[in-house]
């Protein structure tokens, strides 16, 4: 039996992944302009989060899921950095919140890593 906080992490990624399909415009608005096919990227990243959330729940797929989540979060750093440097986000979000979101990715990576 795995600890409840592992399942909490899985639930979080599952929920966020589902939100990519329920509210795609919210996620599309933060995709950097230099990434092609933004809408497709929103759906693919949502699908990845759902699949990885499920994979976290099984011993046989957990390690691959953890490393995949860490890689995914590393890729997502570019989105969070984009939000910090692009002035269009500065009216919507206080700069400390944008920095918190960026730095939080490292905490999320660590959270995944502790289950290896």
For the chain, the domains span 4-113
10-53 per-position pLDDT tens digit: 999 999 999 999 999 999 999 998 999 999 999 999 999 999 99
pTM reported for the whole predicted model: 0.94
**Model confidence at 1: pLDDT above 90:** no
Mean pLDDT of the chain: 96
Question: 49, 33 in Cβ contact below 8 A?
Answer: no
Q: What is the pLDDT of residue 88?
A: 92
Distance CA 57, CA 7 (A): 7
Instruction: Indicate the pLDDT class of residue 2, thresholds 50, 70 and 90.
Output: confident
**Model confidence at 66: pLDDT above 90:** yes
Report the Cα 111 to chain-centroid distance in Å.
13
């Amino acid at each position: 039996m795995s600890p409840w906080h592992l399942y909490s992490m899985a639930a979080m990624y599952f929920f966020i992944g589902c939100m990519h399909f329920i509210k795609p415009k919210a996620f599309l608005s933060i995709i950097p302009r230099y990434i092609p096919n933004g809408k497709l990227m929103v759906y693919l990243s949502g699908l990845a989060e759902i699949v990885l959330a499920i994979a976290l729940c099984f011993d046989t797929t957990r390690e691959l899921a953890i490393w995949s989540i860490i890689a995914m979060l590393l890729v997502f750093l570019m989105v969070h950095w984009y939000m910090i440097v692009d002035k269009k986000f500065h009216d919507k979000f206080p700069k400390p919140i944008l920095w918190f979101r960026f730095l939080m990715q490292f905490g999320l990576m660590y959270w995944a890593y502790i289950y290896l």
